[in-house]
Amino acid sequence: MKRVAIIGGGISGLSAAFTLEEKRKSGAPVEYVVFESSPRLGGVLVTDHVDGCIIEAGPDSFLTEKPWAADLCRKIGLGAQLIGSNDVDRKTYIVVKNKLVVLPDGLMFMVPTKIMPTVFSSLFSVRTKLRMAAEWFHPPRKATEDETVAAMVQRHYGSEMVDLLADPLLSGVYGGEAAHLSVRAVLPRFAEMEAKYGSLGRAMLAARTKMAAVAKGPAKPLFSSLKDGMQQMIDALVARLDAKALKTSSSVQAVSRQHQNQSQNNGNGWAVQSGHESDHFDAVIIATPTPAAAAMLESADPSLARDLADINYGSSVTVSLGYDEKVRRSLPPGFGFLVPRSEGRRMLAATFVHNKFPHRAPENRAIVRCFLGGARDEQILQSSDAEILQIVRDELRGIISLTAEPLFARVYKWKSAMAQYSVGHLERLQRIESLRRKLPGLALAGNGYSGIGVPDCVRSGADAVGNVLAQIGI
Ligand SMILES: Cc1cc2nc3c(=O)[nH]c(=O)nc-3n(C[C@H](O)[C@H](O)[C@H](O)COP(=O)(O)OP(=O)(O)OC[C@H]3O[C@@H](n4cnc5c(N)ncnc54)[C@H](O)[C@@H]3O)c2cc1C
């Protein structure tokens, strides 16, 4: 029987554990142990139920376009629980001088693909509109080096686009800044489109026409989630795993290679050190944020540990506020708003949850979920919940004139939870991969590598299993 240690019980580690459980049930000679440092499994996937409302502390959904999370949900019996975002109400605003300005129709991520809505939008200055028109004629350009998202967007559309769209969109997804994040790692399609078409606008239009030609049936919702909240995924996964194999409140300090001559009885493999105990495994999947992985691997391979430690993480704070029916009627339609840095506020974005996922609030309730923190405001973690609440309420008053007392409020702090793929991330990944290959039986999973979203993390966990099983001959 081969033994695999999975370190980290977030969605990446649980996806790995479920993949191993499936193999075990189908007769593969393998068993696993999940080590999770906190008392609960699930990592940042946490759902609370308050006053009839479903409150997401971490992720509230995942991109439908990336199939791995929904596929996993179907495998664990949650197919009927999958819901889509309410895209008929999909409207996003940008805060400009304390007012909400709607994003014009036809913007794909930040690339305009429809002329008239963009021309008539009050969001952009005439100068930026002229840049957009000129962008249509950009010649193909194959970049020799990685660059920041800000540099690329600036080249195509100018600095206003960076401030109004690139930065707020990226802080929504990564908690990061356009001036630091790598185009190749974060928006690889943009780099490919620029190389092939030059103009991002023409490239997006071509992609949309192609997609429309092959698409069958009604358009899929942009986001998917689960009726009763994202934690359903964690609960269903945990219910399908071997309870004896799940070690919570078990932090791993180190993993080290064991060679034949050191452990005569166990053969080659890995020692996993957790507290005062050391256990032997044939393979190890580390599914923690990369700084934790770096600390564990320090003695096994200092170079690998250094590269892992160099991947930075940003922190995030979400605040969910519940309101009554009267407030619900007074709030704008749409999914919510993004706050550009030039507005000088601490809030990065807010979601009108009752519009985006109507299942999450009874009809007489509104939920406004606000995001703070990110790379530009780590200090927010030092503030108390009461101070954060005050900031959010002051800013909501300034932006959408929301003065009502909330029926409930919840503040969730996520320290160093969001990986920041900075310029050179892909080269760093290549180095990490070549060093990892020199350590047989080791695999890495999680949001620090090739995608921060829940679907990417699910895929990373499953891929890590394929990787280690091939290495230990199963
Ligand atoms: C506020 C917020 C909102 C988000 N919104 C979305 C969204 O809407 N859609 C989307 O797709 N993605 C979203 N994301 C991103 C996504 O949720 C995460 O990238 C993903 O869930 C990370 O999963 P993970 O298992 O890799 O890491 P984590 O969830 O961080 O889990 C890692 C686990 O490892 C454990 N651990 C750490 N060190 C050790 C150790 N030494 N020993 C044992 N265990 C250890 C930790 O306790 C933790 O439980 C959001 C993230 C945040 C924080």
Written as tens digits, the pLDDT of the chain (474 aa) is 999 999 999 999 999 999 999 999 999 999 999 999 999 999 999 999 999 999 999 999 999 999 999 999 999 999 999 999 999 888 999 999 999 999 999 888 889 888 899 999 999 999 999 999 999 999 999 888 999 999 999 999 999 999 999 999 998 888 899 999 999 999 999 999 999 999 999 999 998 888 878 777 778 899 999 999 999 999 999 999 999 999 999 999 999 999 765 544 445 899 999 999 999 999 999 999 999 999 999 999 999 999 999 999 999 999 999 999 999 999 999 999 999 999 999 999 999 999 999 999 999 999 999 999 998 899 999 999 999 999 999 999 999 999 999 999 999 999 999 999 999 999 999 999 999 999 999 999 999 999 999 999 999 999 999 999 999 988
Instruction: Give the pLDDT confidence score for residue 442 in this predicted structure.
Output: 98
DSSP letter assigned to residue 298: T
Measured in Å, residue 342 CA sits from the centre of ligand 1 at: 29
pLDDT at residue number 403 = 98
Q: How far apart are CA 83 and CA 42, in angstroms?
A: 20
Instruction: Tell the burial category of 209 from Cβ atoms under 10 Å away from its Cβ (0-12, 13-18, 19+).
Output: exposed
Q: Alpha helix (H) ranges present in 215-301?
A: 231-240, 290-297
CA R_g for the chain = 23
CB atoms within 10 A of CB 314: 23
DSSP H helical segments within 182-322, as ranges? 183-186, 188-197, 200-214, 231-240, 290-297, 302-309
| b/e burial code for range 394-419 (CB count within 10 A of at least 16 → b) | ebbeebbebeeebeebbbbbbeebbb
Query: In 3D, which of 422, 446, 442 has the Cα closest to residue 433?
Result: 442
Could you tell me if the CB of 314 is within 6 A of ligand 1? no
Ligand 1 contact via 47 beta carbon (within 6 Å): no
Q: Is the CB of 150 within 6 Å of ligand 1? A: no
Whether 453 lines ligand 1, by a CB cut-off of 6 Å, is: yes
Ligand 1 centroid from CA 12, angstroms: 8
- For residue 97, give the nearest of 163, 150, 152 by alpha carbon: 163
* Ligand 1 atom 48: residue of nearest CA: 43
Is 231 close to ligand 1, i.e. is its CB under 6 Å away?
A: no
Measured distance between the N- and C-terminal CA atoms of the chain, rounded to whole angstroms: 10
Q: Which of 44, 253, 356, 415 to mutate to test the pocket of ligand 1 (most atoms within 8 A of CB)?
A: 44
Residue type, 392: V
Q: Tokens 């605040």, residue?
A: 319
pLDDT of res. 180: 96
Q: Tell me how crowded residue 92 is: count the other CB atoms within 10 A of its CB.
A: 18
DSSP for residue 39:
S
Distance 417 CA to ligand 1 centre (A): 6
Question: What's the CA-to-centroid distance between 58 and ligand 1, angstroms?
Answer: 8
CA of 448 from ligand 1 middle (Å) equals: 10
Atom of ligand 1 nearest to the CA of 250: 43
pLDDT at site 261: 57
In 3D, which of 180, 196, 197, 172 has the Cα closest to residue 110? Answer: 172
Q: Is 454 in the pocket of ligand 1 (CB under 6 A)?
A: yes
